[in-house]
Amino acid sequence: MSASVNQRSHNVLACTRDATAYQKAFGQELRRRVVDEQEPFAIVQADTPHEIFHAMDIPIITNQWWSAYISAKQLSARYFDALVEAGYPANSCKYCSLGLACTLANDPETAPWGGLPKPTVLVARLTCDCIQHVFGQWAQALDSEFFPMEAPAWVEKDPRWYAKARTEWEHVYQPDRIAQMVREMEELIALLEKRTGRTFDEEKFHHLMEQINVQEGYIWEAAQAIGQARPCPVSIAEQMPNTMIPQWHRGSEWAVAHARRFRDEVMERIGQGLGASSNERIRLMWIGAGVWHDPGFYQALEESLGAVFVWSMYMPFAGPAYIRDLHGRPMEALASRVASMNETLHLPPWMNGWMTAEAERCGIDAAVMLLPPDNRLSQSGTKLTALALEDAGVPVLMIDADMVDAKIWDHDRMVTMVADFLKTKGLA
């Protein structure tokens, strides 16, 4: 456990509290369906086609959401210790392996929901070396099956992919890669139909894809407005839940309505001239996954230094990564979304091309970059992005910490580190 107490974030939007309450109720309903009723369900990575499961009404537990859930309950240290005791290396990728660690710890007394039961299937894209090992062994521990999806090489290296993804997605993501993803999704559908007895509803799927465009459009509007607004109306401590909670339910009636409400509340605060801080002086960019065990970190310097975290990847990603002109081909449009989600967030030239453009759009003064010591995918393009930002005149602080491992995090030390960095750069 860290040497100082992690802080809760404070909210200014009514919709933030409602989103959190909705997700809590959803978690209880998911537990009822999966644990109590023993419905078919799947464990999936964030960059897999969730829409297929939604169209078939098959519950899913996203590995990253489950890891964040465990971490928020301050259980990660216990399970990582259990992973090492089971013979795994201490430098395992924490974000991807926390769910496996919880299963291997086999401690129903501490595990959320008493631990996960046997899923119908586990699904992940092979985006890095550890994924196949983690999901293969997790499937074995749960007496289930791992359905791997390829991450084919991306030859089209356009740093401005984000400006063309909505309308030119077939060209940007390459027809051969899209076709490969469609074939694998069709195989996944066949497996799910065979295992669950449920049928893939093409009409429902098409409607879902249309509604996702509507939902992401609202989030995109809010992201554009936040980038232009002075002061920033709402920090990323609230942007994250209001973006990510609807993303887990994307295309649903609730998710679309919530995204619209979030957009409207943001616009209302902008119209009233309200800011996340009463004296905004420094606009910060957060690069990396959220520090799920300490959400209060992002608001710690808002009043003392006027330093506001204006930007994280989650919210502005809604536009280029999700919105697609369907062209009557919803399955191919979905394939284009899935084919490169991790690559655009973690690998050059896509990551640094997008993030330097976003820094300029939002008037960023400095960036704070999470560098998880044991997560190679989060490191590979991150340092090059830091160089690109520095070249663009945005100073970057890289911090060695993990999004779900609280053992190597100290709230006071991290806040002090950011404050000292801003003072050293003459910003505070």
DSSP state of 289: S
Rounded to whole angstroms, the Cα distance separating 65 from 57 reads 19
* For residue 372, pLDDT beyond 90: no
pLDDT of residue 121: 98
Q: Give the pTM.
A: 0.92
Rounded to whole angstroms, the Cα distance separating 358 from 353 reads 9
H helical segments located in 174-317: 175-196, 202-228, 236-248, 253-271
Q: Is the model more confident about 188 or about 342?
A: 188
Rounded to whole angstroms, the Cα distance separating 342 from 125 reads 9
Q: How deeply is 155 buried, as exposed, middle or buried, from its count of CB atoms within 10 A (0-12, 13-18, 19+)?
A: exposed
% of the chain surpassing 90 pLDDT? 78
Number of Cβ within a 10 Å radius of residue 37: 9
DSSP state of 125: E
* For residue 174, pLDDT beyond 80: yes
Q: Are 52 and 188 in contact (CB under 8 A)?
A: yes
Rounded to whole angstroms, the Cα distance separating 322 from 110 reads 36
Q: How many residues does the chain have?
A: 428
pLDDT of residue 228: 96
Q: Is the model more confident about 347 or about 41?
A: 41
pLDDT of residue 352: 93
Q: Are 77 and 101 in contact (CB under 8 A)?
A: no
Element (H, E) at 354: helix 350-362
Element (H, E) at 398: strand 396-399
Residues 6+ apart with CB under 8 A from 325: 166, 167, 169, 333
Mean pLDDT score of the chain = 92
Tell me the per-residue pLDDT of 206-252, one tens digit each, with 9 for 90 and over: 999 999 999 999 999 999 999 999 999 999 999 999 999 999 999 99
Q: Is the model more confident about 406 or about 154?
A: 154
* For residue 282, pLDDT beyond 90: yes
Q: Are 161 and 350 in contact (CB under 8 A)?
A: yes
Q: Taking the CA atoms of the chain, what radius of gyration do you get in angstroms? A: 21
pLDDT of residue 74: 84
* For residue 1, pLDDT beyond 50: no
Helix (H) and strand (E) counts for the chain?
A: 17, 8
Rounded to whole angstroms, the Cα distance separating 160 from 204 reads 33
Question: Coil, helix or strand for 403?
Answer: coil
Tell me the per-residue pLDDT of 27-67, one tens digit each, with 9 for 90 and over: 899 999 999 999 999 999 999 999 999 999 999 999 988 98
* For residue 289, pLDDT beyond 90: no
The interaxial angle of helices 382-391 and 350-362, nearest 10 deg, is: 40
Over residues 322-329, mean pLDDT: 96
pLDDT of residue 3: 44
Q: For every residue of 41-78, which 3-state class applies, written as one string?
A: CEEECCCCCHHHHHHCCCCEEEHHHHHHHHHHCCCHHH
Least confident range of 44-48, 73-77, 124-128, 143-147: 73-77
Q: Is the model more confident about 376 or about 289?
A: 289
Least confident range of 76-90, 135-149, 246-260: 76-90
pLDDT of residue 2: 41
Element (H, E) at 366: strand 366-370
* For residue 377, pLDDT beyond 60: no
